[in-house]
Chains A and B, each alone.
Chain A
Amino acid sequence: MELLFRVVIFVPVLFLVAVVVVAQQHATAQSTLQAAAKRSVRWLVWTAALLVSMTVLELLFIEF
Chain B
Amino acid sequence: MADSNRTDPQKGNGLPAFIMGFVPGLLQWQLGQKQQAVTAFASCTAVLFVGWVVVGERLFYWGLGVPDGQSSFDNFAHLGLPVLPEVLNLPAQVTGALMAYDGSATGLRMQRLPRDLEHIAGWVTAASGMLAAFWAAAGHWSLRLRRDADGDAARLVANPALCAALSWIVPGLGHAKAGQKNKGALMGAAVAAVFVLGLVFSGGHAVDRAQYGVWWIGQNLFGGGSLFAALVTGPMRSVETPIDLDLGIVLCTVAGLMNLVVMCDAYTVAERSVFPVRTEQAANEEAMG
Contacts and interface: CB of A to CB of B under 8 A. Distances in A.
Interface of A: 6, 9, 13, 16-17, 19-21, 23-24, 26-30, 32-33
A33 B194 CA distance: 16
7 contacts: A9-B197, A9-B201, A13-B251, A16-B190, A21-B261, A23-B183, A23-B186
Contacts of A23: 183, 186-187, 265
Given A28-B183, A30-B182, 19 more contacts: A9-B197, A9-B201, A9-B247, A9-B251, A16-B190, A17-B258, A19-B186, A20-B187, A20-B190, A20-B261, A23-B183, A23-B187, A24-B265, A26-B183, A27-B180, A27-B183, A29-B182, A29-B183, A29-B185
Contacts of A17: 190, 194, 254, 258
B31 interface: no
Contacts of B180: 27-28
A20 B265 CA distance: 9
B142 interface: no
Contacts of A9: 197, 201, 247, 251
Nearest to B171: A20
A13 B252 CA distance: 11
Nearest to B250: A13
B43 interface: no
Nearest to B258: A20
Contacts of A24: 261, 265, 268
Considering residues B187, B190, B251, B262, which has the most beta carbons from chain A within 10 angstroms of its beta carbon?
Answer: B190
B191 interface: yes
A51 B180 CA distance: 38
Contacts of B191: 16, 20
Interface residues of B, number: 20
B183 A13 contact: no
A1 to B, nearest CB: 13
Contacts of A21: 261
Contacts of B258: 16-17, 20
Interface string B240-283: 00000001000100100010011001001000000000000000
B46 interface: no
B153 interface: no
B3 to A, nearest CB: 28
A23 B172 CA distance: 11
Nearest to B198: A13
Contacts of B197: 9, 13
Contacts of B182: 28-30
Given A24-B261, A27-B180, A19 B190 contact: yes
